[in-house]
Every structure is written in structure tokens, then in C-alpha cells.
Amino acid sequence: MDHRSTSLEHWLIKLQSMHTREIDLSLQRVATVWNRVNNKLLANSARESDSALTFSIAGTNGKGSCVMAMESILQSHGYLVGTYTSPHLFDYNERIRVSGAPVSDAIIVEAFEFIESECKSTALTYFEYSTLAALWIFETLAVQVRLLEVGLGGRLDAVNIVSPDVAVITSIALDHQYWLGSTKADIAVEKLGITRTEKPLIWGERSSSGLDELLIPTGAVLYRLGIEFDISLENDSFTAKFLSGSKNFSVSGLRGDSVSAENKAIAVQSLLAGGLSLDSKKCRLALSKVELTGRFQHISVGDVAVILDIAHNPAAATLLAKRLSLLSGNIHAVASVLADKDWMGIIAPLSKIVYSWHVAKIHNSSRATDAQKLVSDLKVRGLRSACFSSLESAFLAAYGKCGLGDTIVVFGSFYVVASVLKTISVLQER
């Protein structure tokens, strides 16, 4: 079969069938292939080694927001930046961006073809193939800065085949315990695997978390939120102060919206720690423009307010509940989760906030939780809930219940937000 005539859609179907395990945490296979790919890239260029300034960003919550904030700042300062994130909401191309724009089908297919030629007999997961494709594209297009979002954990994630100039960890919370461990300390150790000795580590966990002692063995140069840099509330607006070499640097107006003030601060400190020269006014303007789909995103559908949030673990659900508690009127939830998520832990902080629950099984993931189980868990807590055949029908039911001043909150997964956004798009076109 001549893969040069194969579409991106066909390639993605092929990749999903090439490796039987959706998640296979290991660096050996993907590192072996990357060494072959990178050697070919070196042989075909004048460069001696990777020249792009590289940031690896991990964290239980907030890493996607942090990446987007960093991308916005870098673009405002004129840098050619390559950004790799996962998962995507609608189109695969969203995962690989250059200067803020998704790359074309053609260049992704070209990347896949090149990687396939170097795989030999090595079987790679969908995510591993995606990571290699992103790295190949960034090298081919000669980006100046790489922003690499860790998919799962850190130590054994495919992104970790690249040694970052700066490691960023936004937060630590219980999630993915099957792969990462049952305690916050276990999970922190896995995420700290992206750090490198004598290289900057931006740490978004305040010292009150009790995890600071885990930082010492890394040998990294520490930039800790609340110690080396911090935010303060002044006149209803956040001001962040940072360590930039031996000088102080500050950015005002970091009020949190879809991106928290803390994650904006982490983004700025990360770039400063990477040795970049930043302008405070450009930073503030760039951060004011950052909007993320599915991060406490507000949409109006007719007269109904809708909030979309990918919150998929207890820590994220707690933050979501805090934000929702400021609203008036009844709140109707549309939700679902993957099987490895702590559904009961997610329910707990929202149980006194949400008036009615509308759940359905996620249909485009093999790891989806059965909707009947979700409803059963809700009813155990005495919560008003109903099960639906699809997320579309769940949303339409919630929409039909809304009275004046009510709000629909959609959460639990990227899959949930994407499905409901498609439904909303259809409604808005009518």
C-alpha cells in the first residue's frame, strides 16, 4: 500500500489499530525510534543538535491552560513557537500547532510516513506516534521554542524522550492512580521525572501541600509558587512578581477567568526561567486574550447560560464547584467520565451545588463508564438524576428544564465537552 496517497483520517485509523494497548507507559520503544528519526534529521540539516528552546509541561490540572498562556506570550514577542498538546476536541490537527495555528493534514501525513520508515519492527501507541510526529514537524519547520504538554504522568511519558530546558509542573492531585500511584507523593514523583539536574523547575504546588521535600533529589533549579514567585490581590486585580535572573519582574492585571491567575503566573515564570526577555505590557495583553475551549467556558444558547469545563477529577471538580457557587438560579449538570476516574470523588464537591444531573455514556472511547452506573452512584447520594442514550439527548433534556436565570454546566471529559459543543452548534444554526 502506498501511504503517500493515504489521507490523515486513514492514517489515524491505522495508528489506532497498530498497538493493542491505548496506554503503554514506556520510553524504550519510542526513544529508539526517535534516535533513528533525529539522526536522519541531523544528517539532512546543517544543525548539530536540537536548537529549539524546549519546555515540558506536566500537572494533574492546569497544564493545558499554562501551555496556551505560554504560547500567547511567545507569539506576542515574535517567537516562532511549536506547541504539542493532547487530546483534541474536534480535529487531530489541534494537537500540533505552529504559531498558534494547527498544521496541515499534508505535513502530518508526511511526518507519519517518515516515522513509519524508521520504526522497523517497533510497535508504537497512537500517542507515541503523535509525539514523534510533532517533534519531526517542529524540527522540519525550525521552530524557535517548543512547548510539549505531557500526556500522562511524566517519567515514562513519550514527551520525556526530549530533555527540556525548563520543566513545568502546574499541580499535583489524585488522578490516573492505576498508572501513577495511589498517593499524591507517588504521582508527584512520576511527574517530577521530567526534571533535569541543574535545569529550572517551575513548581505550581504551594509548600502547604507537603510535597516540597520531593524536589530536593531532582537537583533542579527551583522556582516555587509562593516562594520564588507569587501572585497578590491588589484592587480586585492580581499582580504577579517573578524572579528573572537577579532582577525582579512583575505583571499586573492577571485576573483569572478561563485560565487561573496562578497558571498565568506559572507561564510567565517558566518563560523567564528559560532566559527569555519579556515585556510586562506585552505579557499582560497576551494573557488577556487567552481563551480556552472547555475551561470554564461561557456560552449562551438562546436565553440559557452554558458553562463547559473538562473537570475530570476531584481537585478540578472542587474548583468548578467553587466557581459555580457564585451563580444564582438552578444549575443543571450534563456529565460523564472515563472508567479510570473517581466519579464519587467528582460528585462530592458538586452535590450541594447541582440541582439536577443528566448523564450518558461517552460513545467514542473504549474506556467510557456505563451511564447506568453513573446514575446509580448519584442516586446513592440522593441526587436528582436521569440516564440518557447520548450526551446530545442529555444536554437537550437539561436545556428543556432551564428556567430564567438557570445554568447548564457540562463537564467530566474532553469527550463530553466536544459532544455537547457539536449539539450547541446545531442548535445555534437553527
Confidence of residue 261 (pLDDT cuts 50, 70, 90): confident
Query: 303 exposed, middle or buried (CB, 10 Å; 0-12, 13-18, 19+)?
Result: exposed
User: Does residue 271 share a domain with residue 155?
Assistant: yes
Residue 58, pLDDT above cutoff 60: yes
Whether the link from the prior residue into 87 is cis, omega within 30° of 0, is yes
- Residue 3's pLDDT is what? 45
User: Does residue 28 share a domain with residue 7?
Assistant: yes
Range 324-330 average pLDDT: 93
Q: Which of 288, 317, 339 is the last residue of a domain?
A: 288
Q: Which of 264, 288, 312 is the last residue of a domain?
A: 288
Look at 136 and 123; give whichever has higher pLDDT: 136
- Which whole-number Å values give the CA distances from 326 to 54, 293, 322, 331, in the listed order? 39, 21, 7, 11
Range 404-413 average pLDDT: 96
Range 271-276 average pLDDT: 94
User: Does residue 245 share a domain with residue 101?
Assistant: yes
d(CA 61, CA 150): 12
User: Does residue 194 share a domain with residue 137?
Assistant: yes
C-alpha cell at 246: 537577579
Residue 170, pLDDT above cutoff 90: yes
Q: Which of 233, 267, 288 is the last residue of a domain?
A: 288
User: Does residue 339 share a domain with residue 224?
Assistant: no
Residue 313 domain boundaries: 297-429
Residue 399, pLDDT above cutoff 90: yes
d(CA 86, CA 310): 13
- What total number of domains does the chain contain? 2
Please state whether 275 falls in left (phi above 0), alpha (psi between -120 and 50) or beta.
Answer: left
User: Does residue 307 share a domain with residue 277?
Assistant: no
Confidence of residue 327 (pLDDT cuts 50, 70, 90): very high
Look at 256 and 151; give whichever has higher pLDDT: 151
Contact present, 403 and 330 (Cβ < 8 Å): yes
Residues written for the chain: 430
Range 168-180 average pLDDT: 79
Percentage of the chain modeled with pLDDT above 70:
93
Residue 46, pLDDT above cutoff 60: no
Look at 253 and 195; give whichever has higher pLDDT: 195
User: Does residue 152 share a domain with residue 65?
Assistant: yes
User: Does residue 323 share a domain with residue 220?
Assistant: no
Residue 123, pLDDT above cutoff 90: no
Q: Whole-number mean pLDDT of the chain?
A: 89
Range 82-103 average pLDDT: 94
Range 419-427 average pLDDT: 90
Contact present, 360 and 387 (Cβ < 8 Å): yes
Residue 299, pLDDT above cutoff 50: yes
User: Does residue 272 share a domain with residue 314?
Assistant: no
- Residue 260's pLDDT is what? 86
Look at 20 and 338; give whichever has higher pLDDT: 338
Range 62-83 average pLDDT: 96
- Residue 242's pLDDT is what? 84
Range 162-191 average pLDDT: 86
Residue 90, pLDDT above cutoff 80: yes
Range 169-196 average pLDDT: 84
User: Does residue 251 share a domain with residue 394?
Assistant: no
Look at 401 and 235; give whichever has higher pLDDT: 401
What CATH number does residue 275 fall under?
A: 3.40.1190.10
What CATH number does residue 320 fall under?
A: 3.90.190.20
Least reliable range by pLDDT among 89-98, 103-112, 245-254, 411-420: 245-254
Look at 177 and 202; give whichever has higher pLDDT: 202
User: Does residue 409 share a domain with residue 369?
Assistant: yes
User: Does residue 328 share a domain with residue 226?
Assistant: no
